[in-house]
Amino acid sequence: MADERRSSPTDDVRRLYEEAESRTARAFEDLVSRGSFGELLARMTENVVALTKIATDVFDLALRNLRLAGRQDVTRLARQLARTEDKLELILQEVERLGDELNAEGRSGGARSGRRNSANGTAGATSSRTSRAAK
């Protein structure tokens, strides 16, 4: 008893705190170790995901009603832009291939035909179109 009377208030508070902490830790360990806790956690997660989906749908609907671009609109435009870029790349490759064919034809044996075409202006127009398309 003499030791208990000599203990300081700080020591008493520390002892009470550690005792409360250990009781709380045991209580939470008991709670978490039960199967019902996992079930409750799973249901809460399902509800949070459902509420998030509802909120996202409402926000998209509000944007659509305000005639603003929503996430779906931006995604659709991005897909269209990617398709258009792919098509333009294919066209550019084809134009470059045709230009290479014209240059090869002009070098190999088309020198005489090139002179004849230049007289009526067709060879010059074709080569200028090819150089513009290649740029």
Q: pLDDT (tens digit, 9 = 90+) per residue, 55-81? A: 999 998 898 899 888 888 899 999 999
Rounded to a whole number of angstroms, the CA Rg of the chain reads 39
Distance CA 40, CA 31 (A): 11
**What is the pTM assigned to this prediction?**
0.41
- Write down the domain spans for the chain: 85-135
Where residue 120 falls among pLDDT bands split at 50, 70, 90? Answer: very low
Measured N-to-C along each axis, helices 71-108 and 111-120 cross at an angle, to the nearest 10 degrees, of: 110
Distance CA 100, CA 111 (A): 15
Distance CA 91, CA 84 (A): 11
Q: pLDDT (tens digit, 9 = 90+) per residue, 90-116? A: 999 999 999 999 999 988 865 555 444
